Amino acid sequence: MTLTFFIIIGVVFGFVAATMAFLTTYGEYSRHHFMAKTLTLKMSLEIAFVIFAVFVIVAIAIGFVVSK
């Protein structure tokens, strides 16, 4: 298996995980009425980007290990 395969897998599943993380955190943060909508959106997007990055980095690391 090539590294490209693992990068594609990381991007696809990272996108799915980031979308779910965004929806979950936005739903939970929006329940707290003391937070502004812009802050809620910003925090949810930050978490989604971190989750996406983690999935891609882990997939690349697994790709390096498996390809050797």
Query: Could you tell me which of 40, 12, 6, 5 has the C-alpha nearest to residue 24?
Result: 40
CA angle 8, 67, 13 (to 5 degrees): 25
* Res 36: pLDDT: 81
* Res 38: pLDDT: 85
- How many domains, in total, are found in the chain? 1
Query: Could you tell me which of 24, 28, 2, 19 has the C-alpha nearest to residue 55?
Result: 19
Model confidence over 11-40: pLDDT tens digits? 999 999 999 999 999 998 888 777 788 888
Quick check: 42 and 15 in contact, CB under 8 A? Answer: no
Q: Which domain holds residue 43?
A: 3-67
Tell me the average pLDDT of the chain.
91
Look up the pTM and report it.
0.85
